[in-house]
Amino acid sequence: MTSDLDIIVAGGGRVGFQTAELLANRGHDATIIESDERIVSEIADEWVATVIQGDATDPDIIEQAGVDRADAIAALTGETGLNLAVCLAALELQPEIRTVARIDRASAESYTRFVDAILFPERAGARVAANEIVGSDVQTLVDMTGDLEIMLVRVAEGAPAAGKRLADVRLPAGALIVSDDDGNRIARSDTTLTAGSRYVVAIEPDVADEVMNLMRG
Amino acid sequence: MGQGSRGPSAELGLLDATMIGMGAMIGAGIFVLTGLAADIAGPAAIVVFALNGVVTAFTGLSYAELAASIPKSGGGYAFVREIFNDFSSFIMGWMLWFAYMIAGGLYALGFAPNFLELLHVYGIVPSPDEVGAIVLPVVDTAVPLAFALAFVAVIGLVALNAVSTAASGSAETIFTIIKVSILVVFVGFGLSSPMLSEAEFQPLFPEGTGAAAILPAMGLTFIAFEGYDLITTVTEEVENPRENIPKAIFVSLAATVVVYLAVVAVAIGTLGADGLADAGEAGIAAAATSFMPTGLPVIRNGGALIVFGAVFSTLTALNAVVIASSRVAFSMGREGQLLPSFGQLHHRYGTPFVAILASAVVMLGSVTLPTQSAGNMASLFFLLSFIIVNVAVIRLRRERPNMNRPYEMPLYPAPPLIGIVLNLILAGVLVEYLIRTDLLALMLSAAWILLGGIAYLGLNRLRAEPARIPTDGDTEITPEVED
C-alpha cells in the first residue's frame, strides 16, 4: 500500500551502514544485524536503524530482525560466502523476500542464480575514483560524491504531486527537479509532473523522504 | 519555480527536548483540571497530582527504553507498530489518535473560560457567570459564548497547521519558559500571601468519600502528565538521542511534578479547595486574582498575568495536540493502517493535510462535550495506550533479546509490570466512575473502539481488493506499480 519498505541489512560496517542510512533517509525502515559490539555501539549513536546484535546466519537472529515482515534483505558484510549464506537463510524463513548480496570479486557474479541481485562496491568505488582522476566534468547519475543525491524518480499514480505543475508543488528547500519528463529539457515552473514518467531530481539527504512522499505517495 | 521554499528542521539539544515534554505537560492540565480535581478530592488534590506523577514515571521508563532502541520519530504508535501484529498496532494507533484529539477538545474547553476571564479582568466583557450566550442571527439559536470560543480556537489552529509547518517545533522552548515563569510568579506571590497562613488543608480528604475519592480524581487528571511522550515524536531532530531522549523524559517529568505540586499547594492554600472547586476550569486563574497585587503598570491587575498564562498554555497545548494527533494519523496512513491519503503530504503546503482535517472533525465534536467528560475520556485512552506501551517493552525484551538497547531500564521487569497494574487500576476506577456519573463519555469511548474495529475490517477488505481492481481500472486507491 505504501512505498515504504522493511529492509534488513546484514553487516553494519561501512557499506552496510551507509546503505541503511540512505534507505532510512528515503523513509524506509532499516534493521541492521551486526555482531561486533564496538560497531553496534557506533551505529546506535547515529540513530538511523534498529540494531540486532548477533550472527546474521543464525535463524534466531534473522527472526529477531523481523524477517517475517521484511520486503528485502541485503547481506553487505565483507565476506562473499557469509553474505550468500545470510540470503539463503532468509529465503528459507521467508520465501517472498528480495535478496541482495555483496560480492568481493567479479567472478562471484554467477551468484545471481541464488540471489535477486549482487553488488560489487569496490568496482563502483573504482569507477568514481577513475572519474575523479580523469577530472571529467560529466558525472553519471550513480557516481555522485558528497551528500547530494541525484536520482531518477518515477512519479507514482495517485502521489500528492502527480499531475501537478511544478509551480503548484512546494518542494522542501534542498530539493530540485532537474529534467522534464522525457529528459530533453530542464524543468520549468510550467513542467507537469506526469504519473508514470521519470524525472531527474537533486536532493539533500535530510529532505529525501519528503520528496519521496510527494512524488511516490 | 515552486522549489525550495521550506527549510529543514533544526537540531534540538537536551534542553529543547526537555522543554518539548514540559511544554506539552504544563499546558492545559494544571490550569483546567486543578479546580475539577479539588471538586472531587478536596485538598487531597495535591496527593492526586503527586501519585499520578509516580504512576506515569513507570511508563516513562518504558518510553525511554523504546525510544532509545527504536530510532523512529513516531512516538508510541511507531514503537508498537514495530513490535505488534497488524491489529494490535492498529488499535494502539486508533486509541492514541483519539486520546490526542479529545485532549485537543479539552484544551479548547479550558481555553475559553480562561480567555473570558482575561477579558473580564480588563472589563471588556462582564463576569464569566453573567456571559450568557451570543445569538447568531442566521441560525437563530443561542450559542454559549465559551463554546463558540473553543470552537474558533480549534478551527484557527487547525487551519494554521494545515497550511503551514511553521507552527511546529522551534518556538516551543520559549513558550515553555514563558509558561513556567508565569507559574513561578504565581507560586512566589502565593507563598508570600497572607492568605496562605490561614490555609486549610484539614481535613485532607473530603468528608463522606474519604481517601477513595483520590482514585477518580487521579483518573480525571492523569492527562496532566501526558506530554513527555511527545519528546519521542521528534527524536530524529535531537542530538545524541540515545542519551538525551531518556534524560529529557525523566527531567521533564520530575520538573513537571515539582511545578504541579507547588502550584496546586498554593492554589488550595489561598483559595481553599471549595473555592477552587467552584471556579472549575478557571480555578488557578481565580486563585491568582484573589492574591496577586493590583494597580501595577501596564497590566494593572497582577492576576491578569496568571490568567494570560492559562490562556497561553491552553492554546499552545492545543497546538501541540493538533500536531500530535495528525502525526499519529499520518503514520497510520503511511503504514497502510488508515486510507493512504492520510499518509500523504499536501502538494502545496507540505503538511499532512488529510490527517489534520480528519483530526479536526473529531476535535470539534469533542468541544461539545462537558469539560469533565473530555478530561475523563482523554485520560482513559491515554491510560489504555500506556498499558500497551508497557506490554510492548516486555514483549520486545522477550522476542528480541539481542536487540541493541542503548538505554535499559533498571530492575526490569518490575517497572513495566507495575506500570501495567497501576494503569489498569486507574483505568478500572475511571470506567467504574464513568458508569456511575458519566455514561455518555463511556458510551462514546466504546463507540470509538467499535468504529475502529469496523474501520480495520473495512480497510483490510479494501487492501485485499486492489489485486482485482487494476483490470477495470480507474480507482484512486490502486497501489502503485513498483519498478
| pLDDT above 50 for B113 | yes
| pLDDT above 60 for B453 | yes
- The answer to whether residue A199 sits within a structural domain is yes
Per residue in A85-144, pLDDT tens? Answer: 999 999 999 999 999 999 988 777 788 888 999 888 888 888 778 777 866 555 556 555
Same domain for A150 and A104, yes or no, is: no
Q: How many CA atoms lie within 13 A of B417 on its CB side?
A: 5
Q: How far is B265 from B255, CA to CA, in rounded Å?
A: 16
Chain B residues whose CB is inside 8 A of the A49 CB are 71
Same domain for A110 and A158, yes or no, is: no
What mean pLDDT value characterizes chain B? 81
- The answer to whether residue A110 sits within a structural domain is yes
Same domain for A24 and A85, yes or no, is: yes
Q: What percent of chain B has pLDDT over 90?
A: 23
- The answer to whether residue A203 sits within a structural domain is yes
- The answer to whether residue A1 sits within a structural domain is no
* Residue B278: predicted pLDDT: 83
Counted domains in chain A: 2
Q: How far is B236 from B241, CA to CA, in rounded Å?
A: 8
Binding-face residues of A in 23-42 toward B, CB within 8 A: 24, 27, 29, 40-41
Instruction: Give the list of residues 6+ apart from residue B272 with CB closer than 8 angstroms, or none.
Output: B200
* Of residues A54, A206, A210, nearest to B350 (C-beta): A210
CA distances from B432 to A108, B223, B317 (A): 68, 18, 29
Residue B226 Cα, gap to closest chain A Cα (Å): 25
Q: What band does B209 get if pLDDT is binned at 50, 70 and 90?
A: low
CATH of the domain at B83: 1.20.1740.10
A89 touches chain B (CB under 8 A): no
Same domain for A154 and A118, yes or no, is: no
Same domain for A81 and A113, yes or no, is: yes
Same domain for A206 and A105, yes or no, is: no
* Residue B474: predicted pLDDT: 40
* Residue A153: predicted pLDDT: 84
Q: DSSP secondary-structure letter at B217?
A: H
Chain B residue closest to A204 (CA)?
B8
- The answer to whether residue B97 sits within a structural domain is yes
Same domain for A92 and A41, yes or no, is: yes
- The answer to whether residue A43 sits within a structural domain is yes
Same domain for A22 and A77, yes or no, is: yes
Contact yes or no for A210 and B399 at CB 8 A: no
Q: At CB < 8 A and 24+ separation, what contacts does B255-259 make?
A: B255/B18, B255/B22, B256/B21, B256/B22, B256/B25, B256/B26, B256/B53, B256/B225, B256/B227, B256/B228, B257/B49, B257/B50, B257/B53, B259/B26, B259/B30, B259/B180, B259/B183
CATH of the domain at A206: 3.30.70.1450
Same domain for A111 and A201, yes or no, is: no
Backbone phi, then psi, for B200, in 5-degree steps? -115, 100
Counted domains in chain B: 1
Same domain for A75 and A17, yes or no, is: yes
Per residue in A148-163, pLDDT tens? Answer: 778 888 888 888 988 8
Neighbours of B338 (CB within 10 A): 25
Same domain for A122 and A203, yes or no, is: no
Per residue in B61-94, pLDDT tens? Answer: 999 999 888 887 767 888 888 888 888 899 999 9
Q: DSSP secondary-structure letter at A137?
A: S
Q: Which comes out higher in pLDDT, residue A133 or B123? A: A133
- The answer to whether residue A182 sits within a structural domain is yes
- The answer to whether residue B476 sits within a structural domain is no
CA distances from A68 to A64, B173, B447 (A): 9, 42, 33
Q: Which domain holds residue A58?
A: 6-126
Contact yes or no for A213 and B344 at CB 8 A: yes
- The answer to whether residue A133 sits within a structural domain is no
Per residue in B319-350, pLDDT tens? Answer: 888 888 888 898 898 888 888 888 888 888 87
Spatial contact of B357 and B158, defined as CB atoms under 8 Å apart: yes
| pLDDT above 70 for B1 | no
Q: Which domain holds residue B306?
A: 14-463
Chain A residues whose CB is inside 8 A of the B399 CB are 64
- The answer to whether residue B202 sits within a structural domain is yes
- The answer to whether residue A141 sits within a structural domain is no
Q: How far is B329 from B353, CA to CA, in rounded Å?
A: 11
Within B220-332, strands assigned E span 294-296, 300-301
Chain A residues whose CB is inside 8 A of the B477 CB are 158
Spatial contact of B54 and B425, defined as CB atoms under 8 Å apart: no
Stated pTM of the model: 0.81
Instruction: Lowest mean pLDDT of B214-223, B270-279, B353-362, B366-375, name the range.
Output: B270-279
Q: Which of A126, A161, A181 is the C-terminal boundary of a domain?
A: A126
Per residue in B19-55, pLDDT tens? Answer: 888 888 887 778 888 888 888 888 888 899 999 999 9
Same domain for A175 and A102, yes or no, is: no
Within chain A, strands assigned E span 6-10, 29-34, 50-53, 72-75, 98-102, 117-119, 149-154, 175-177, 198-203
Say yes or no: ipTM exceeds 0.95: no
